[in-house]
Structure 1
């Protein structure tokens, strides 16, 4: 296999997985010993690798910077790890049309810095955004709390190019905001972890950088917070983020971030309206500096992604805190628009019990285990698929692989 791939790409593009494992020790359990790490210089050469793998019966797993490789459910059954980091060309930034077209191997933060020079940005805050590639963020549907206002990756994507299982490069969508032709393959690829196709190039909508940002926190009893949250969601206020945050101490708070104009802030209208909501619901209102959860990959880290109906966010975080206290686990997290990320620490058996019991208490939703030691994932269904979702996804993949 190595000889064939070396003849196809050259020695500089084919390596053993020890290179990736040495840089990221927590990923070693997810790296099959005999698999190869392949970095095609161009998408066309990546397509040639996929075509060759199909002929030879080799299994291919695409990766970017590897920041979320341990988000897989188990040790991947892969012969080739196809790394996209060499595909980092920024193809077109149409600032007037507010779109950007780029290859997917570009680091997310590097793309943001380029757009910032033109007063624009991609309105997303994925995990590991300092090191992750754009393609990795899209393939894992790694969203943050900005989806409250700007939508998820699926809402911001306008067009894609990707490699099919037979090695053909195809495209869906286009480079304009109004594009309704054909099947919406783009939404299928986002969050598919590379199982339906390997992204090579994407077109995203961009937004003007906020003229001004203001952050407020509402603090108080759980019932009062619930009332305050309901009042904000039913009002004409339009926060970019509306985040319920669970701190390690067990304290719950509601954080609001507004992207607006400096003239609006100067009038003090936001503060006045929030003060009225705070008084009505017996909450404390404070102005804050930007904050958030910083999750860095470590061997003992456990990250959960939780999805529930909007009205269940507060009860879910309360349940989580009670279970963590009972099982002596460290816990912090945040939820917005029904989706959130939780960071846990503790003994493995206690963490397993916490996850299983939390799933039992969330009948409408999911609790997915993203980052975790492999030994813990082997004791659980990491994805928490419910109903017929998993069967449907298998059938869909079979159709696309045919």
Structure 2
């Protein structure tokens, strides 16, 4: 039971179905008993959202881990929700294909958990999010009813694209049991360049140059000095106490395309007063660690707060400086340099974390951006809400929740309502 504990709450029972039909039957059993259900995968993203208001049954889907159908010629795959992304991509690699996702804690994350959490990593700069790659889904509703949305061809939507409804809903609308994706060919060649700068302002010309580049980099990530130190503890990297920011540029594709992007990235960095450059063989080893920087793991909830700021790419330097000066507590952050999304985590007493988050929330809203709490102490979530601004779509989601789960038994309270 200890593995399924959430913020001090433990379930009365755990079920581990081995088929979709068994999972549906578990939900029917829970409906008869009036139990509140929390779906589980690896647990990598269980710290997101509010703590459930009720928690009777943990529904562990990790035994639903089969590849149901792979059509290499059509570039599509259908899988059960409990399969790990790393295992799925290892199987697809035999055909030179992949699902280009790299979410936080991606070595552990299951497909169902990735979709429910709605999180993607640096590769979204080139390929989009899991929502963009999803083409079909099978869901077990709160009463055990199985529904199918979408299909297994890339263009299969007429009317509402219902699979997207369950992306990012944290398992509050239904339990994802199967999913179908469009695939991408793996790049013919791939490399990474890493550049350090003294100030975020110095790095901005490079990130904006990559935003406009016709070669479409796979990812452009900016990391602050503390994030770099976190990487150094896991990997053999040079110490750089004078650098406040590193920028990683990842390229993949045909060799000539990659070579051109590398030349242009180096030229933009030189024009922006680059301080140091890593060897490419070292830089490319960073990516497995990068997506988890700035994210709070479920076991780190106490004393640690993780947030996401959504700004314009041109506001990256301003946002970086705001993160560093909003509080005296230590902050680790990274940013999607071509998208303007910044992930940050801070450690400190509850009052300091609340003040830090409140300042950043006001900063983002004043610039027309958005703010999200991704993990941390429940009192901070309750005080500020999970996200801002609150858009009219929230009322729509509440009505959908009332239709699909009228008794409020799937992850109740996770998004702030029953």
TM-score (normalizing by structure 1)? 0.85
Moved more, 214-223 or 87-96: 214-223
From 176, 182, 205, give the equivalent of 1:227. Answer: 205
Instruction: State the 1:98 CA deviation.
Output: 1.2
Instruction: State the 1:86 CA deviation.
Output: 1.6
Contact 1:216 1:285 in 2 (8 A): no
Contact 1:40 1:86 in 2 (8 A): yes
Moved more, 129-138 or 64-73: 64-73
1:349 aligned residue: 351
In the alignment, the residues of structure 1 paired with residue 292 and residue 395 of structure 2 have an alpha-carbon distance, to the nearest angstrom, of: 35
Moved more, 359-368 or 138-147: 359-368
Instruction: State the 1:147 CA deviation.
Output: 0.5
Q: Give the paired residue count.
A: 375
Mind listing any 5+ residue stretches in structure 1 that lack a counterpart?
1-17, 22-26
2:9 aligned residue: 31
Instruction: State the 1:172 CA deviation.
Output: 0.8
TM-score (normalizing by structure 2)? 0.82
Contact 1:30 1:70 in 2 (8 A): no
2:399 aligned residue: 395
From 367, 376, 387, give the equivalent of 1:372. Answer: 376
Contact 1:175 1:203 in 2 (8 A): yes
| Pair 1:30–1:125, CA change in 2 (3 A) | farther
Mind listing any 5+ residue stretches in structure 2 that lack a counterpart?
227-240, 407-418
Contact 2:200 2:244 in 1 (8 A): no
> Does the residue aligned with 1:77 lie in a helix, a strand or coil?
coil
1:57 and 2:34 correspond: yes
Compare relative contact order (CA 8 Å, sep 6+) and give the higher one, 1 or 2.
2
Instruction: State the 1:379 CA deviation.
Output: 4.6
In the alignment, the residues of structure 2 paired with residue 71 and residue 188 of structure 1 have an alpha-carbon distance, to the nearest angstrom, of: 18
In the alignment, the residues of structure 2 paired with residue 391 and residue 79 of structure 1 have an alpha-carbon distance, to the nearest angstrom, of: 27
In the alignment, the residues of structure 1 paired with residue 18 and residue 271 of structure 2 have an alpha-carbon distance, to the nearest angstrom, of: 60
1:278 aligned residue: 269
1:175 and 2:152 correspond: yes
Contact 1:121 1:207 in 2 (8 A): yes
In the alignment, the residues of structure 2 paired with residue 182 and residue 195 of structure 1 have an alpha-carbon distance, to the nearest angstrom, of: 23
Counterparts of 1:238-253 in structure 2 under 5 Å?
A: 238-248=216-226, 251-253=244-246
| Pair 1:134–1:181, CA change in 2 (3 A) | same
Instruction: State the 1:380 CA deviation.
Output: 4.1
Moved more, 278-287 or 339-348: 278-287
CA RMSD of aligned residues (A): 2.4
